[in-house]
């Protein structure tokens, strides 16, 4: 029996980008006095500064929400890889990462109990040491916990002030798209993916 029933309808980057582009276009249209025929009515009692602040808040919120979904997608890449390696039945072709996962895996534990940052990323750090581009891969693995701290802040309601520091940063949608591109470039050949017929 499979450990996880994978969802073929999970959001993918192309869909996230499409929604981001369409929402951004809608916001730009709403706040453009030359294109929006109801602009004068929509903002009749608002100063230009108030209008610009409203637009900025909406664009920032769109960036946050889109970032959240991209980070969730990045998590699925690594968690799907983990599950597929644990389920691997071909003993002769198991690489070191698969062996590490299988030796640590306890069927009595749910797969989501295995920490993304403290277990999955740590095993990857050991695995990539002898791969081409190991430096680039290790750099990504070292920064990923920062991105997921930011994701956790978003996921848990943003009720505390997120104070940026050398370790804690706020990221925007463009930065996370770049991160995803780097993950796909360097990790793509090694990540196991679930295909649906």
Decide if 169 contacts 146 (C-beta within 8 A).
yes
pLDDT tens sequence for the chain (197 residues): 578 899 999 999 999 999 999 999 999 999 999 999 999 999 999 999 999 999 999 999 999 999 999 999 999 999 999 999 999 877 667 899 999 999 999 988 888 899 999 999 999 999 999 899 999 999 999 999 999 999 999 999 999 888 877 666 789 999 999 999 999 999 999 999 998 86
Q: Is residue 72 part of a domain?
A: yes
Q: Is residue 181 part of a domain?
A: yes
Q: Is residue 46 part of a domain?
A: yes
Q: Is residue 192 part of a domain?
A: no
Euclidean distance between CA atoms 192 and 6, whole angstroms: 13
CA 7, 13, 14, 16 dihedral sign is positive
pLDDT at 165: 75
The tokens 């798209």 sit on which residue?
177
Residues 6+ apart with CB under 8 A from 73: 10, 11, 12, 13, 16, 180
Give the angle subtended at the CA of 2 by the CAs of 148 and 6, to the nearest 5°.
Answer: 45
Q: How many domains does the chain have?
A: 1
3-state secondary structure of 168: coil
Q: Is residue 152 part of a domain?
A: yes
The tokens 């969730």 sit on which residue?
72
Q: Is residue 82 part of a domain?
A: yes
Q: Which domain holds residue 64?
A: 13-187
3-state secondary structure of 20: helix
Q: Is residue 193 part of a domain?
A: no
Q: Say what angle helices 48-86 and 173-187 make with each other, to 10 degrees.
A: 20
Q: Is residue 196 part of a domain?
A: no
pLDDT at 1: 58
Quote the pTM value: 0.92
């Amino acid at each position: 029996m499979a450990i996880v029933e994978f969802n073929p309808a999970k959001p993918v980057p192309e869909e996230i980008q499409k929604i981001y582009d369409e929402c951004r276009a809608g916001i730009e249209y709403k706040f453009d006095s030359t294109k929006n025929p109801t602009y004068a009515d929509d903002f009749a009692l608002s100063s230009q500064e108030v209008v610009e602040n409203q637009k900025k808040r909406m664009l920032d919120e769109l960036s946050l929400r889109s970032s959240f979904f991209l980070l969730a997608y990045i998590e699925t890449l690594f968690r799907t890889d983990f599950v597929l390696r644990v389920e691997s039945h071909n003993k002769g072709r198991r690489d070191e990462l698969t062996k590490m996962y299988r030796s640590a895996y306890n069927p009595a534990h749910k797969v989501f109990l295995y920490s993304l940052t403290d277990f999955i990323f740590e095993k990857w750090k050991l695995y990539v040491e002898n791969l081409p581009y190991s430096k680039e891969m290790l750099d990504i693995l070292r920064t990923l916990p920062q991105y997921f701290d930011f994701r956790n802040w978003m996921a848990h309601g943003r009720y505390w002030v997120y104070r940026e520091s050398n370790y804690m940063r706020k990221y925007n949608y463009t930065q996370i798209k770049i991160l995803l591109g780097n993950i796909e470039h360097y990790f793509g050949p090694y990540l196991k993916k679930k295909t649906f017929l």
